[in-house]
């Protein structure tokens, strides 16, 4: 599965990210699972996006928040 998909609306067409935004990058979920997002107005699927469970998050080697955010 790609990390983007083309979305077409009556007024615009654009590339929608479908990955997980982690550490400044779009990545795929480690388990390879996805889930569909649903349009609430017509209950039709919009796009499938990558899913991250607890085990997958552990394997992404996330940095500690103190390394990412400035504190005063």
Domain boundaries of the chain, sorted by first residue? 19-68
Answer whether residue 13 shows pLDDT above 90: yes
Return the half-sphere exposure (C-beta side, CA atoms, 13 A cut-off) of residue 48: 8
Give pTM, 2 decimals.
0.64
Q: How far apart are CA 26 and CA 46, in angstroms?
A: 19
Angstrom distance (rounded) from CA 7 to CA 37: 13
Share of the chain above pLDDT 90, in %: 40
Over residues 15-28, mean pLDDT: 87
Residue 41, pLDDT score:
94
Tens digits of residue pLDDT in 27-58: 888 888 899 999 999 999 999 999 987 776 66
């Amino acid at each position: 599965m790609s990390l983007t998909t083309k979305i077409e609306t009556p007024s615009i067409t654009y590339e929608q990210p479908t990955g997980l935004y982690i550490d400044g990058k779009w990545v795929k979920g480690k388990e390879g699972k996805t889930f569909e997002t649903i349009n609430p107005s017509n209950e039709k699927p919009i796009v499938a996006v990558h899913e991250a469970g607890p085990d997958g998050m552990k394997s992404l080697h996330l940095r500690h928040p103190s390394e990412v955010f400035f504190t005063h």
